């Protein structure tokens, strides 16, 4: 006589097996696998904190925040050393264990890579070193080309490339100049009777680069573009001030912040979709495409010329175009604004280089508006911008994930391991750049980047290899025009009240702004 029917017996067997398997799965995931990773890394001469089960322990992060606060409280007045000190877990790990080190992100080991040959391999073999997946909230800010992989990345890059060709960038020079001249006019209104004024230039430079990207991305839809910028600014603020945004459990909870971010994202998407729809209709009606980033993007996107309802489009969908527009905003504005503010800070700190740059600008342009041909002749200004990007790169590190077991130089790394390229540390490495690595010396780039780096991959403020930032030329061209116009109109110095606290908020920014004393020329 059977005690239980067959179905019940099978269910009990299933539950027994499940109850036996789950603990083993968790034990393997939370302990055996990470410890195996750890032993593999240690056996190859790498050093780091031992793995433990404090998976959701915020003590390390709290310790880093305490160190940051202490450093900021001491960083008062004019700075003596131009190179910034950034306290992150990666930088602290290298400080503690040296270049051959690793750290932990939960159960995942992250190996610090500083060797130029290994860095070259990471950047070149992009299919083996994809970017880590974004957190669900971070996708609200940047989910375009910068995050795509494989065929999707190749397709989007091909479609977007025409918008950043040199010939197209030449056509954007008037927008660069117009936005900068408006800012200069505002500064002149603030001058006192003796032709001087003291201002925080950081918010002005942020508004300038937002204005530029609004004009160059949306042209005739400029006013709508500026409204979208304000929404994206709020979105970024919410993301950066959300304490537990990276906790894998937090984003599942119905919080006020998450609800607000969804609302803002919906408003941005609706606004962008409206702008795009108008452009698509005008193209279908035979009107000439606008020569702005959006117009060029739509013109080069084969999907827009196909019949509605074609399920196998070879181009980008409207939603993907929206994501790329968001990326235009963030990458186009953030990168250039931080480059400009640190350039002004360093030229204010080193007046001899400011004088040399002004002499060159006046020699090339006089008091005329900068033009494309002349910008290419600005050797000293270019050297200065390269050196600013070396000391103050917009991003302080790049992270990649290893897709399969592989050899990276002399290291064997397992699938799932992350690698971190600490840009700031590599840009200041004495073994690479010499004893003056932390000094502001633009002359190191007198013969170009290749000569300064001796052909090694040790300078990459815009990335390197196939995935070099598509907007690099856009950013440098805009920076050259702005710096040239500023040098034609003002001399400037750091205010005695300037507080030097570089801090990472998406990009490397001045925590307390950049107070500058302007002198009208």
pLDDT at 3 exceeding the cut of 70: no
pLDDT at 243 exceeding the cut of 50: yes
40-89 per-position pLDDT tens digit? 999 999 999 999 876 455 555 555 555 555 555 555 556 777 888 776 78
Residue 289 and residue 280: Cα distance in Å, rounded? 9
pLDDT for position 472: 93
**Any bridge partners for residue 491, and if so which?**
519
pLDDT at 409 exceeding the cut of 50: yes
pLDDT for position 307: 44
261-265, 276-280, 465-469, 476-480: which is most confident: 476-480
pLDDT for position 184: 97
433-489 per-position pLDDT tens digit? 999 999 999 999 999 999 999 999 999 999 999 999 999 999 999 999 999 999 999
- Decide: 308 and 263 in contact? Cβ < 8 Å: no
19-33, 62-76, 197-211: which is most confident: 197-211
- Decide: 340 and 479 in contact? Cβ < 8 Å: yes
pLDDT at 340 exceeding the cut of 80: yes
* pLDDT band with cut points at 50, 70 and 90 for residue 370: very high
State the angle between helix axes of 150-160 and 318-349 in degrees (0 to 180), rounded to the nearest 10.
70
- Decide: 348 and 494 in contact? Cβ < 8 Å: yes
Residues in the chain: 521
Query: Could you identify the residue written with the tokens 């977007």?
Result: 160
* pLDDT band with cut points at 50, 70 and 90 for residue 252: low
Residue 297 and residue 217: Cα distance in Å, rounded? 10
User: CB neighbours (10 Å) of residue 252?
Assistant: 10
> Which of 67-81, 148-162, 332-346 has the weakest average pLDDT?
67-81
pLDDT at 145 exceeding the cut of 80: yes
Q: How far apart, in Å, are the Cα atoms of 465 and each of 36, 88, 276, 470?
A: 32, 26, 32, 11
- Give 199's DSSP letter: E
**Any bridge partners for residue 419, and if so which?**
111, 400
In 3D, which of 118, 39, 41, 32 has the Cα closest to residue 412? 41
Residue 222 and residue 180: Cα distance in Å, rounded? 16
Strands 196-200 and 411-413: unpaired
User: CB neighbours (10 Å) of residue 99?
Assistant: 16
Read off the tokens for 468. 């070099």
Residue 22 and residue 28: Cα distance in Å, rounded? 10
pLDDT for position 251: 56
pLDDT for position 451: 96
- Give 51's DSSP letter: P
pLDDT for position 91: 84
CA 462-130-54 angle, to 5 degrees, is: 105
Q: Rounded mean pLDDT of the chain?
A: 85
In 3D, which of 377, 382, 361, 353 has the Cα closest to residue 492? 353
pLDDT for position 483: 98
- Decide: 427 and 391 in contact? Cβ < 8 Å: yes
Query: Could you identify the residue written with the tokens 């109109």?
Result: 489
* pLDDT band with cut points at 50, 70 and 90 for residue 257: confident
- Decide: 197 and 320 in contact? Cβ < 8 Å: no
- What does the CA dihedral 216, 220, 224, 226 come to, rounded to 10 degrees? 30
Helix, strand, coil shares of the chain, percent, nearest 5, are 60, 10, 30
Percentage of the chain exceeding pLDDT 90: 50
Average pLDDT on 223-243 reads 76
pLDDT for position 424: 92
* pLDDT band with cut points at 50, 70 and 90 for residue 142: low
* pLDDT band with cut points at 50, 70 and 90 for residue 17: low
**Any bridge partners for residue 109, and if so which?**
104
CA 476-478-479 angle, to 5 degrees, is: 65
DSSP string, 423-453: HHHHHT-HHHH-TTTTS--GGGGTT-HHHHH
């Amino acid at each position: 006589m059977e005690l239980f029917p067959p179905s019940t017996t099978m269910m009990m067997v299933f539950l027994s097996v499940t109850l036996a398997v789950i603990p083993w799965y968790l034990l393997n995931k939370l302990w055996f696998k990470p410890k195996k990773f750890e032993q593999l890394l240690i056996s190859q001469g790498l050093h780091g904190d031992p793995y433990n089960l404090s998976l959701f322990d915020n003590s390390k992060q709290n310790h880093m925040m305490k160190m940051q606060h202490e450093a900021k409280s001491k960083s008062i007045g004019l700075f003596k050393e131009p190179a910034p000190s950034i306290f992150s877990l990666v930088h602290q790990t290298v400080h503690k264990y040296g270049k051959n080190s690793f750290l932990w992100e939960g159960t995942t080991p992250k190996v610090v890579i500083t060797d130029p040959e290994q860095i070259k391999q990471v950047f070149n073999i992009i299919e083996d070193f994809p970017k880590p997946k974004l957190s669900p909230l971070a996708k609200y800010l940047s989910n375009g080309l910068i995050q795509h992989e494989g065929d999707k990345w190749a397709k989007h890059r091909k479609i977007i490339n025409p918008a950043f060709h040199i010939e197209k960038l030449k056509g954007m020079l008037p927008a660069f100049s117009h936005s900068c001249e408006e800012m200069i006019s505002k500064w002149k209104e603030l001058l006192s009777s003796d032709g001087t004024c003291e201002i925080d230039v950081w918010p002005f430079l942020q508004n300038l680069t937002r204005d530029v990207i609004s004009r160059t991305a949306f042209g005739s839809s400029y006013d709508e573009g500026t409204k979208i910028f304000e929404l994206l600014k709020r979105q970024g603020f919410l993301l950066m001030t959300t304490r537990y945004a990276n906790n894998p459990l937090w984003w599942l909870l119905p919080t006020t912040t998450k609800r607000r971010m969804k609302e803002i994202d919906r408003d941005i998407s609706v606004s962008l979709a409206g702008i795009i729809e108008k452009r698509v209709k005008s193209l279908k009606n035979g009107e000439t495409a606008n020569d702005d980033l959006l117009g060029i993007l739509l013109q080069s996107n084969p999907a827009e010329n196909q019949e509605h309802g074609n399920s196998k489009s070879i181009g980008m969908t409207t939603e993907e175009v929206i994501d790329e527009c968001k990326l235009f905003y963030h990458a186009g504005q953030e990168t250039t604004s931080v480059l400009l503010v640190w350039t002004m800070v360093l030229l204010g700190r080193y007046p001899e280089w400011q004088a040399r740059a002004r002499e060159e600008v006046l020699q090339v342009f006089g008091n005329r508006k900068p033009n494309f041909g002349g910008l290419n002749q600005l050797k000293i200004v270019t050297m200065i911008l390269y050196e600013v990007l070396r000391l103050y790169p917009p991003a302080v590190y790049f992270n990649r994930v290893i897709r399969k077991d592989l050899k990276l130089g002399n290291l064997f790394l397992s699938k799932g391991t992350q690698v971190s390229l600490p840009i700031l540390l590599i840009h200041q490495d004495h073994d690479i750049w010499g004893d003056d690595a932390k000094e502001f010396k633009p002359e190191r780039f007198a013969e170009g980047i290749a000569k300064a780096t001796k052909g090694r991959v040790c300078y990459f403020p815009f990335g390197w290899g196939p995935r070099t930032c598509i907007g690099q030329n856009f950013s440098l061209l805009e920076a050259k025009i702005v710096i040239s116009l500023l040098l034609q109109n003002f001399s400037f110095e750091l205010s005695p009240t300037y507080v030097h606290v570089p801090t990472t908020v998406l990009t490397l920014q001045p925590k307390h702004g950049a107070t500058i004393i302007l002198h009208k020329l």
